[in-house]
Each structure stands twice: as structure tokens, then as C-alpha cells.
């Protein structure tokens, strides 16, 4: 009778075991358009106190998912390495991709436009985290925080061939499985990204020295910080990708899959965007990086290590990672670690060539390794590098 109280015409219909009430709202109540509106009227007149409350059962706790654990590990690791987390805006600044000089067919231009954006000049959802992070960096620099390192972990929106406006589905019934699947297909892809930006001095000035400005190597180190936290070994390879500097940009790979880019931003982009000179950035797609739920425990040997160095001359276009992989494969299980610590180019080794000096650490798990055994492993490593990448040992 609450429905008749508001002037509705109520008809009761019985069909077998089913009992339905059909209510026709009065003509003067133009706000009553859906069944939910009639339910609200009944609640308003009857009173919420008359509706019994039912406490929903609490599901048992299951802890964090593997994705949540990795996200938390990345955030902690970056924060411990001096980066400050920010929450960038989910909308793109107007004309940012033109400022970067991206071509018309760049996939980052495949953005999703919102009909009712928070700001009228920013209707497009971000397909990359860098515009929002660089905007936050610029704002900090304009307020005097010139030595800034920021990071963000968030989702982006990428339009696909199936992305379209959401279809309106009636609310007086449960959507069908086909309707739900259609809604899911109409949504843009929303991968999770992690991004880092750096500007100013990475090592601050003080009594110990004048400080050191941010370099592309700092962006590469940020990639390694992310990799160690995620339990993943990244490979860096020289690349050209806007908005990065063509000679100071690295492609980040897991196996043969490209997961992002890192390096110093292009000087023209930095100038047009009003960013500090030498600004560096990293952006990785976390959805393309495998999740390692159980990180392997480090192996600790009680036996001493043997340290040796080797310098290899290779063509200038050969990536250092390829040389390191060849050395690892040739040296075998006695090689515990290999580290590149010097790169030399000059007339002594010829034009179009470079010298890579590697520090090798050998160790046996069950005995004290002799110098002769380590030297034999080093010779095998050099031979493997000669065969795989055309390396020549430097005298």
C-alpha cells in the first residue's frame, strides 16, 4: 500500500508459483523511471528501521596475492633507494604526445576519451605514466626541489579494436552472461606499469665533493632495482624510442620480450616541456614481466673466490649483454659472477670497435679453487666470446 500512497496504480499478477507486482507511477512523478526508484519510495515511507539488517559473512583471510606482493616489494625497494612515490593524474596533459614528437601511428596515441572528465582540457585517459610523473617533477622543480627522484606504480588505459562506449543495460534484471562478456570486451586494456623519473643531482654536494648530476646510468640502475625486487634478470639493449635520447636509451627485455625503456630524455623534449637538462626516465609494463612468487635463496659458499679480469675487443654495435652471456656460457659453473666495469674506445683498438673489461669471480661449491682452474675457465670464456660475438682478447 506504500506504492498506492504515492499515487501509483498497483496490479498483482500470479503466474503459477511466481507472484509479481506491476506498479504504474503517477503522471506527475516523472522521476520514477525504474524499479529501483519505486524501491526507494517504499524505503522512504516505510523507514529504514523497519528493514531487518543482515551481517554479510566475512570470507576467511587469504593474505596478499602474488601481484600485490610484487607491487609492495617494488614500492619498498624503490623507496629504500631514494625514490619518492607519487600518484600521477590518470588523464593526459593536452598535446603531450605532440611535445614528445610521437608519430601518428605510435601505440601510445591509442587513448580512451572520457565523456565527463574532471578537467575539460584533459579528456583522455593516460596510456603511459610518464606524462603525469614528468608533470609532478616539473612542479617540484618550480618550487625549488631541483634534485628529485620520483616513481609511480599504477594502471594505464590502452584502447583496443574492441573498445567502445559502454552499452546501457536495464537494471530491473540481472545481466546475461553474453551482456557481461560484451561489457568486458568493450573496456580498454589496463596493464599495470611502473615508472621512474630523475632530475638534478643524484649524489648531493657536500664536504665530500661537488655532487654528481643524474645520468642515463642512473635510469639503468633503477631498472636493476626493480629487477632485484621482482626476482627478474633484465637485459638492456641499445634502442631508439621517443621521448628518450637516441644515444642514451636502452630497451629493457625479459628474455626476448620488450617490457619497457630507460635512459635520458631527448634534449628537444626536455626543452619543449620545460624540464631540467639531463632528466632521465624509466617505464616498464609489469603485466609483461613474469611473477616470481618464491625468490631463490642466495647460495653461500665457505670456500674462497678467485678474481680475474679480461678485456675483450668487439664491434661497436655488439651489446655488452651479448658478450657477458657468451662469457657466462663458456666459463661454466665455476663462474660465480661477471661484471662490466670499463668500456674504452679509441685509436688504439681501431675505428668502429670498443674494448669491454670484465671482472670475473670464480668459486667452487665443494673445494678451494686453484688459480690454474680459474685461468682455464677464463680461457674457455674467451673462446666462447670469440665464437659467438667475434671478440678478440685485448693484450
DSSP per-residue codes, 339-362: EEEEEE-STTT-TTEEEEEEEEEE
Same domain, 324 and 230: no
Residue at 301 is within a domain: no
Burial of 286 (0-12, 13-18, 19+ CB in 10 A): buried
Confidence (pLDDT) at 295: 67
Per-residue burial over 260-285, b if 16 or more Cβ lie within 10 Å, else e, is bbbbbbbeebbeebebbebbbbbbbb
Report the distance separating Cα 347 and Cα 141, nearest Å: 42
Confidence (pLDDT) at 296: 67
Task: Write the CATH number for 105.
Answer: 3.30.930.10
Residue at 322 is within a domain: yes
Same domain, 263 and 231: yes
Same domain, 112 and 196: yes
**Which residues face 91 on adjacent strands?**
125
Question: Cα 231 to chain center, whole Å?
Answer: 15
Question: Cα 236 to chain center, whole Å?
Answer: 16
Give the chain's domain count: 3
Same domain, 112 and 231: yes
Confidence (pLDDT) at 208: 86
250: number of Cβ within 10 Å: 25
Task: Write the CATH number for 365.
Answer: 3.30.70.380
Set of cell numbers at residue 344: 674504452
What stretch of H or E contains 376?
A: helix 371-389
Q: How many CA atoms lie within 13 A of 48 on its CB side?
A: 3
Residue at 329 is within a domain: yes
Same domain, 250 and 110: yes
Q: What is the DSSP letter of 88?
A: -
Mean pLDDT per segment of 10 residues, for the chain of length 395 residues?
A: 86 82 87 87 87 84 89 96 93 90 90 86 92 94 92 94 83 84 90 96 87 94 95 90 93 94 95 92 96 76 92 90 91 92 88 92 91 93 93 87
* Phi and psi at residue 275, to the nearest 5°: -95, 160
- 20 Cβ partners below 8 Å, 6+ apart? 12, 13, 14
Same domain, 232 and 260: yes
* Domain of residue 37, residue span: 2-50
Same domain, 152 and 11: no
Same domain, 276 and 356: no
Same domain, 129 and 273: yes
Residue at 278 is within a domain: yes
Same domain, 261 and 332: no
Residue at 174 is within a domain: no
Query: 212-213 and 335-344 as β-strands: parallel, antiparallel, unpaired?
Result: unpaired
Same domain, 95 and 143: yes
Same domain, 151 and 100: yes
What's the predicted TM-score (pTM) here? 0.75
Query: 84-85 and 148-155 as β-strands: parallel, antiparallel, unpaired?
Result: parallel
Amino acid at each position: 500500500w506504500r506504492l498506492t500512497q504515492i499515487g501509483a496504480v498497483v496490479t498483482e499478477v500470479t503466474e503459477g508459483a511466481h507472484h509479481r507486482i506491476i506498479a504504474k507511477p503517477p503522471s506527475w512523478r516523472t522521476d520514477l523511471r525504474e524499479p529501483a526508484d519505486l524501491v526507494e519510495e517504499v524505503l522512504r515511507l516505510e523507514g529504514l528501521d523497519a528493514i531487518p539488517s543482515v551481517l554479510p559473512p566475512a570470507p576467511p583471510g587469504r593474505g596478499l596475492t602474488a601481484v600485490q606482493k610484487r607491487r609492495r616489494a617494488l614500492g619498498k625497494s624503490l623507496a629504500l633507494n631514494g625514490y619518492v612515490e607519487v600518484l600521477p593524474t590518470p588523464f593526459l596533459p593536452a598535446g603531450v604526445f605532440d611535445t614528445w614528437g610521437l608519430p601518428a601511428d605510435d601505440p601510445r596515441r591509442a587513448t580512451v576519451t572520457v565523456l565527463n572528465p574532471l578537467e575539460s582540457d584533459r579528456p583522455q585517459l593516460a596510456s603511459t605514466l610518464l606524462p603525469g610523473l614528468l608533470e609532478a617533477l616539473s612542479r617540484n622543480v618550480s618550487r625549488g626541489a631541483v634534485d628529485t627522484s620520483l616513481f609511480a606504480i599504477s594502471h594505464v588505459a590502452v584502447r583496443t579494436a574492441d573498445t567502445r562506449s559502454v552499452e546501457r543495460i536495464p537494471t530491473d534484471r540481472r545481466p546475461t552472461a553474453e551482456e557481461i562478456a560484451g561489457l568486458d570486451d568493450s573496456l580498454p586494456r589496463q596493464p599495470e606499469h611502473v615508472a621512474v623519473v630523475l632530475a638534478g643531482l643524484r649524489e648531493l654536494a657536500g664536504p665530500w665533493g661537488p655532487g654528481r648530476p643524474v645520468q642515463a646510468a642512473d635510469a639503468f640502475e633503477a631498472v636493476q632495482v626493480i629487477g632485484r625486487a621482482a626476482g627478474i634478470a633484465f637485459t638492456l639493449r641499445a634502442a631508439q624510442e621517443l621521448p628518450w635520447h637516441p644515444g642514451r636509451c636502452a630497451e629493457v627485455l625479459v628474455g626476448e620480450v620488450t617490457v619497457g625503456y630507460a635512459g635520458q630524455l631527448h634534449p628537444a623534449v626536455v626543452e619543449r616541456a620545460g624540464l631540467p637538462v639531463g632528466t632521465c626516465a624509466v617505464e616498464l609494463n609489469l603485466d609483461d614481466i613474469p611473477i616470481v612468487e618464491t625468490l631463490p635463496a642466495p647460495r653461500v659458499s665457505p670456500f674462497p673466490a678467485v678474481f680475474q679480469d679480461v678485456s675483450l675487443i668487439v664491434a661497436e654495435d655488439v651489446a655488452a649483454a651479448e658478450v657477458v652471456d657468451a662469457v657466462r656460457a663458456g666459463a661454466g659453473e665455476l663462474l660465480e659472477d661477471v661484471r662490466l666495469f670499463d668500456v674504452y674506445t679509441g685509436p688504439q683498438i681501431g675505428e668502429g670497435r670498443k674494448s669491454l673489461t670484465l671482472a670475473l669471480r670464480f668459486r667452487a661449491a665443494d673445494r678451494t679453487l686453484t688459480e690454474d682452474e680459474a685461468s682455464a675457465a677464463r680461457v674457455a670464456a674467451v673462446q666462447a666470446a670469440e665464437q659467438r660475438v667475434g671478440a678478440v682478447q685485448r693484450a
